[in-house]
């Protein structure tokens, strides 16, 4: 089920934010936007559980795929010590990805912090579509991949919580302003829960198709342990679904935030 991938390239993008290019025919050939890989960050029991990281983009010609991660704790810190030529034990591609837009549609993505990474792959794979991206970061120094996003969007709006770059404050503000005059066909969001909740609520209210990509601590990553359960709506009742297997992407109307 798991397999070794060789690190082709590593790069530090910002303080505590790292890019990895990995060699894998399997992941580069099969992955769709919104899916993730589950990575063993070290040998032995040091970080026993794998860490889920979104697929940033694939290159099926070169048999590579890219990820970007932020150091949050032990696992991601160990990952940042690896170099080109090292191997990583990996599972994937896992999970259910985003529903791609139809040609000619108008879409918006809203991402915050590490939640921006899966949205780049979605934008790259959305062809002949009008694309607006709203990306929020805590501060200017944490803005990464700006040029990559510029290349795959018609319009890119960046905000920082401290006002050090772009719009001042939370990214939901320019997004809500945008919705005063525009009606996108589809909205996709990934990032902090309060941000996704605001986006989901306004889209439901305005009857706009919206998908959210949920983040949760994971155990197995393949639907067996139930560590990643999240509460979802089913008519007037609710259930628990597994973010790793039934998600991480869900219709906004399904999630009980
Ligand atoms: C489907 C999915 C895709 C993800 N994609 C990316 C990505 O592309 N880039 C990226 O940087 N991170 C991503 N993450 C988050 C990443 O998995 C965690 O940051 C990582 O597991 C932290 O491991 P650690 O050992 O470094 O930190 P730990 O020591 O395990 O935790 C450090 C801190 O992070 C919190 N945390 C840990 N795991 C999660 C989690 N899964 N969700 C929310 N908070 C968590 C903990 O509560 C704690 O406060 C993704 C998570 C999921 C579920
Ligand atoms: S992580 Fe085990 S069921 Fe989702």
- Domain spanning 3-94: CATH superfamily: Translation factors (2.40.30.10)
HSE-CB of 256 using CA atoms within 13 angstroms: 13
217 CA from centroid of ligand 2 (Å): 9
Residue 247 in contact with ligand 1 by CB distance below 6 A: no
Give Cβ neighbours of residue 215 (< 8 Å, ≥ 6 apart): 114, 115, 190, 243, 248
Query: pLDDT tens digits for 155-207?
Result: 999 999 999 999 999 999 999 999 999 999 999 999 999 999 999 999 999 99
Query: pLDDT tens digits for 214-248?
Result: 999 999 999 999 999 999 999 889 999 999 999 99
- Specify the pLDDT at position 3: 94
Residues composing the chain: 257
Averaged over 138-142, what is the pLDDT? 97
Tokens 């155990």 identify what position? 219
Tokens 């991601």 identify what position? 76
8 Å CB contact between 122 and 33: yes
In this structure, what token pair is assigned to residue 100?
């791609």
Which has more pLDDT, 2 or 45? Answer: 2
The answer on pLDDT for 249 being more than 70 is yes
Averaged over 57-70, what is the pLDDT? 98
The answer on pLDDT for 51 being more than 90 is yes
The answer on pLDDT for 43 being more than 80 is no
State which ligand 1 atom lies nearest to the alpha carbon of 72.
26
Tokens 């939640």 identify what position? 115
| Range list for CATH 3.40.50.80 in the chain | 106-254
Residue 18 in contact with ligand 1 by CB distance below 6 A: no
Tokens 């992407």 identify what position? 249
- Specify the pLDDT at position 46: 67
HSE-CB of 51 using CA atoms within 13 angstroms: 20
What ligand is nearest to the CA atom of residue 51?
Answer: 1
State which ligand 2 atom lies nearest to the alpha carbon of 229.
4
What ligand is nearest to the CA atom of residue 242?
Answer: 2
Spatial separation of the C-alpha atoms in residues 169 and 159, rounded to whole Å: 6
- Specify the pLDDT at position 246: 97
> Rounded to two decimals, what is the model's pTM?
0.96
52 CA from centroid of ligand 2 (Å): 11
DSSP notation for 86-109: -EEEEEEEESB-PPPPPTT-EEEE
- Specify the pLDDT at position 127: 96
| Range list for CATH 2.40.30.10 in the chain | 3-94
Whether domain 106-254 has CATH 3.40.50.80: the reply is: yes
Spatial separation of the C-alpha atoms in residues 67 and 59, rounded to whole Å: 12
- Report the share of the chain in percent with pLDDT over 90: 95
What ligand is nearest to the CA atom of residue 243?
Answer: 2
Residue 153 in contact with ligand 1 by CB distance below 6 A: no
| DSSP 8-state symbol, 123 | H
Crossing angle for the helix pair 193-205 and 172-181, nearest 10 degrees? Answer: 10
The answer on pLDDT for 45 being more than 80 is no
Averaged over 8-25, what is the pLDDT? 97
Query: pLDDT tens digits for 66-111?
Result: 999 999 999 999 999 999 999 999 999 999 999 999 999 999 999 9
Q: Which of 225, 232, 247 to mutate to test the pocket of ligand 2 (most atoms within 8 A of CB)?
A: 225
- Specify the pLDDT at position 48: 75
∠229-234-237 over CA atoms, to 5°? Answer: 95
The answer on pLDDT for 210 being more than 80 is yes
| Strand extents, DSSP E, the chain | 3-14, 17-23, 36-40, 51-54, 57-59, 64-70, 87-94, 106-112, 130-137, 155-160, 167-168, 186-190, 209-213, 229-234, 237-242, 249-251
Spatial separation of the C-alpha atoms in residues 3 and 219, rounded to whole Å: 17
């Amino acid at each position: 089920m798991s397999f070794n991938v060789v690190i082709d390239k590593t790069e530090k993008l910002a303080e505590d934010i790292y890019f990895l290019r990995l060699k894998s025919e399997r992941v580069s050939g099969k992955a769709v936007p919104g899916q993730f890989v589950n990575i063993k960050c070290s040998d032995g029991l040091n970080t026993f559980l794998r860490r889920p990281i979104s697929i940033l983009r694939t290159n099926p010609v070169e048999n590579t795929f890219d990820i970007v991660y932020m150091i949050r704790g032990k696992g991601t810190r160990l990952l940042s010590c690896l170099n080109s030529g090292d191997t990583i034990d990996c599972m994937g591609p896992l999970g259910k990805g985003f529903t791609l837009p139809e040609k000619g549609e108008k879409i918006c993505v809203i991402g915050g912090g590490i939640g921006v990474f899966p949205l780049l792959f979605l934008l790259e794979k959305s062809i002949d579509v009008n694309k607006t991206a709203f990306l929020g970061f805590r501060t200017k120094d944490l803005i990464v991949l700006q040029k990559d996003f510029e290349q795959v969007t018609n319009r890119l709006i960046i905000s920082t919580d401290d006002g050090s770059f772009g719009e001042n404050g939370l990214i939901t503000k320019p997004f809500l302003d945008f919705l005063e005059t525009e009606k996108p066909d589809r909205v996709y969001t990934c990032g902090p829960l309060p941000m996704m909740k605001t986006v989901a609520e306004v889209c439901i209210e305005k009857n706009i198709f919206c998908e959210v990509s949920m983040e949760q601590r994971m155990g197995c990553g393949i639907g067996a342990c139930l560590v990643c359960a999240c509460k979802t709506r089913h008519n007037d009742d609710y259930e628990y679904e597994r973010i790793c297997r039934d998600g991480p992407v869900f219709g906004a109307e399904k999630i009980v935030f």
